[in-house]
Amino acid sequence: MRRLLAAATTIALVVIGVPASGARAADDRGVETDGAARAARSIKWSSCTEPTLRTHQAECGFVSVPLDHSDPNGKKIQIAVSRIKHTVPEAKFQGVMLVNPGGPGAKGRGLSVLGSLVPRQVGAAYDWIGFDPRGVGASKPSLSCDNDYTGYNRPAYVPTTAKIEKTWLKRTEAYAKACGRAGGDLLGHLKTLDSVRDMDVIRYELGARQLNFYGFSYGTYLGQVYATRYPERVRRMVLDGVVNPARVWYDSNLDQDLAFDRNMQVYFGWLAKHNRVYRLGRTTREVRQRFYAEQKQLTRRPAGGVIGPSELTDIFLQAGYYTFGWADIARAYSSWVREDDASGLKRLYDANNPKGKDADNNYAVYLATQCTDAPWPKSWTKWSSDNWQTHRKAPFETWANAWYNAPCRTWPAPSGIPVTVSGETVPPVLMVSETLDAATPFTGALEARKRFPNAVLVEGVGGTTHSGSLYGNRCVDDTIADYLASGKLPERQEGERSDKRCSPIEPPEPVAGLTADTKTDTKAKRAPVPAERLEMQKLIAGR
């Protein structure tokens, strides 16, 4: 998510042209039975240009939505969408499936290929719809504030001196001002609720009475808010990496800091377990002490001249999100520590921290959404006190996360009041989370489950991977396939707990000459990971 509302007047059905109730017949699949009615109403489809989408014969187009949904006849903006159509007979068609990768700010048009990863070809029964949310990617307009903001040569994250603190404050305030100049009238209309309303316009334009939805990370919050606002329009939902609707967003980032620090302890323990390979320490404590010692040295002598303490934090942060890159990070770090070779660290940093307009677009919309969904403290004293208090318990990521979100303190668009999420009347929803997910801590999944009394939560017990469904864990993925095929879910259990417990996505074993991304996993409970899923993982909720 880092990398994770104004109460608005309800839109009358006539605002987006939805016919009065009963105007068209619909079956129990949420599909309008009139084939002409199901045709997209105004979307002009054409072949997609992205290679992966072209391989899957996807169609691309745009949906026109109001910039301001309270003024439906006012200025319009364009939402970029893609579609991979169902291949089953019409009688077995299950409707449209909208997909969102999270962020906020992540591009999602490419995620229409997700259906191909559902086991037993269950995805073939849906039209899979990817979309770039408003302000993102190919949607028009897109937001970019300062293409040179990221990159090397940044101050250390931890403000151990007044100079470091002043430098970061100046940088974050300048970025917020840049977004004020670049955002125009779009900047005030990038709340979650704006995107939720866009989703409903997309549903209507696709001719669907109800919506199926698959959301990752922040996308689970989109799903929760959509279901709260339009419960009768929800058919099936898969929410993976579940956001805590009670902690939006200042508090949720402090929650992340504690969770990422815990996950780094897990990763340091894995490095210690494989000390014969990486030679970084025989115990978790030794590995941890070496990491912070190396980070301190990088302040004086950056690795390869560019990898300083901030960059090293960002490289290791990926290990807090996912297990699949553990071996790559270990090899690169060990090469630096043992051989003074910084090339691997630089490669990893460049791969996970791209520069330029696309990267800035992701960050700008992330901020534009989180900064305006809910109020943020304006007093730097409050920020400083909270983050130093958290840093003392969780030093790995706290100040990195603080500076990442600090532009919200002076954001040039007004914040609203978060939607009160409630799923009392929502049909059965499938939620997925691993116990030690750091980006969206497991307590959030439990809170969301409590608010959706018909929901079922699948837990990857003890796992640290964020939003890892359809990644080869058969226990999880087969549950998703069953649900999407027939609506079948595991039985809901009593109490505040998960309803089905699966083994997690397992850490890799160090294998000489192979990267963690290409290694074939022979464990019985995990299938080989498709290359497309690895590409998608880069989109999902990353910074």
How far apart (Å, rounded) are the C-alpha atoms in residues 525 and 115? 21
Q: How far apart are CA 96 and CA 232, in angstroms?
A: 15
State the Cα–Cα distance between residues 454 and 489, nearest whole angstrom.
10
Question: Which is catalytic among the residues 217, 310, 334, 433?
Answer: 217
Do you find a cis peptide bond into 326, omega within 30 degrees of 0? Answer: no
State the catalytic residue, choosing from 86, 132, 466, 467. 466
| Catalytic annotation present for 21 | no
Is 274 assigned a catalytic role?
Answer: no
Residue in 437, 467, 469, 498 annotated catalytic? 437
State the Cα–Cα distance between residues 42 and 20, nearest whole angstrom: 19
Structure-token pair, residue 10:
């309800």
- Residue (of 504, 78, 199) closest to 324 by Cα position: 504
- Decide if 261 is catalytic: no
Q: Which neighbouring-strand residues pair with 501?
A: 459
Residue 413 contacts residue 184 (beta carbons within 8 Å): no
Mention every residue, 6+ apart, whose C-beta is less than 8 A from residue 382: none
Q: Show the DSSP H helices in 15-161 as ranges.
A: 35-38, 51-55
CA distance linking residue 432 with residue 435, whole number of Å:
10
- Looking at the DSSP bridge assignments, the partners of residue 241 are none
Strand pairing of 96-100 and 211-216?
parallel
Other C-beta atoms lying within 10 Å of the C-beta of residue 232: 11
Question: How many residues can be counted in the chain?
Answer: 543
Catalytic residue numbers? 217, 437, 466
